[in-house]
Amino acid sequence: MDFGYDGVMGLKIEALPIDTLIPDPTNARKHSDENLQAIAQSLKQFGQRKPIVITADDIVVAGNGTMQAAKGLGWDVIDTVRVPADWSTAKVKAFALADNRVAELAEWDADVLMAQAGELTADGFQLEDFGFTDVDLGVFDVQEVQPPELDSGDKGDVEQITFQLHTEQADLVRQAIASARSNEDIDSELNSNSNGNAIAFICGWYTDGRV
């Protein structure tokens, strides 16, 4: 069986001058400056790991953001792969929509994401470069807790503690929380908020004299 280029059936990768490629004039996907910066950071750190998709007329069907970010980085050449020659115009448009949409339908595994974020941050990667925010990583997510009805003067089982940090301190706290959240020894029965559990676990190490 002929698997074509690089072991992938039917794919022929061509390295073409970026200036010869035409952005899709009917592209339904818009790229913000933040999105393009994230793509550019990925290209800078990892290079181009998948080709953009073009038609026989060199119109970019999938990867318009990648091409735009690569141009911004000063690239002259980019890897491409063409859609099958027998595809109709309608099928090309359908593919472009599907390519943009399918990734949006996936969901993150919060625990795995937090664990990997902690590991990568410790290794020197800045996930902010790739478009992740504190909200995305759930570092300081606040889960709404319905407080119990109490008589005046009574104290409930749930408390909220607020404090202020310098930016450098906040980065350290984020790393510690991300790392602690992946620890299997954390007791989550008392509290449904994973960040609170992580902070309590870290404090336990300090009060027990383990640090």
> Measured between alpha carbons, how far is 180 from 137 in angstroms, rounded to an integer?
14
Rg, Å, the chain Cα set:
24
Is pLDDT at 208 greater than 50 in this prediction?
yes
Q: What is the pLDDT of residue 2?
A: 41
CB 26 within 8 A of CB 90: no
Q: What is the mean pLDDT of residues 108-125?
A: 80
Domain residue spans in the chain?
A: 5-105, 110-207
Q: What is the pLDDT of residue 71?
A: 95
The model's pLDDT over 91-114, given as tens digits with 9 standing for 90+, comes to: 999 999 998 888 777 777 777 777
The token duo for 107 is: 């969901």
CATH architecture of 5-105: Alpha-Beta Complex (3.90)
Tell me whether strands 14-17 and 77-82 are parallel, antiparallel or unpaired.
antiparallel
Q: What is the mean pLDDT of residues 114-134?
A: 80
CB 80 within 8 A of CB 21: yes
Q: What is the pLDDT of residue 49?
A: 93
The model's pLDDT over 9-42, given as tens digits with 9 standing for 90+, comes to: 568 899 999 999 999 988 888 888 888 999 999 9
Mean residue pLDDT of the chain comes to: 80
Is pLDDT at 142 greater than 60 in this prediction?
no
**Band (134; pLDDT cuts 50, 70, 90):** low
**Band (81; pLDDT cuts 50, 70, 90):** very high
Q: What is the pLDDT of residue 10?
A: 64
User: Considering the entire predicted model, what is its pTM?
Assistant: 0.59
The model's pLDDT over 154-202, given as tens digits with 9 standing for 90+, comes to: 556 667 677 777 777 877 887 788 777 777 777 777 777 777 888 888 8
> Measured between alpha carbons, how far is 5 from 24 in angstroms, rounded to an integer?
25
> Measured between alpha carbons, how far is 8 from 53 in angstroms, rounded to an integer?
15
The closest of 106, 176, 114 to 141, measured between CA atoms, is: 114
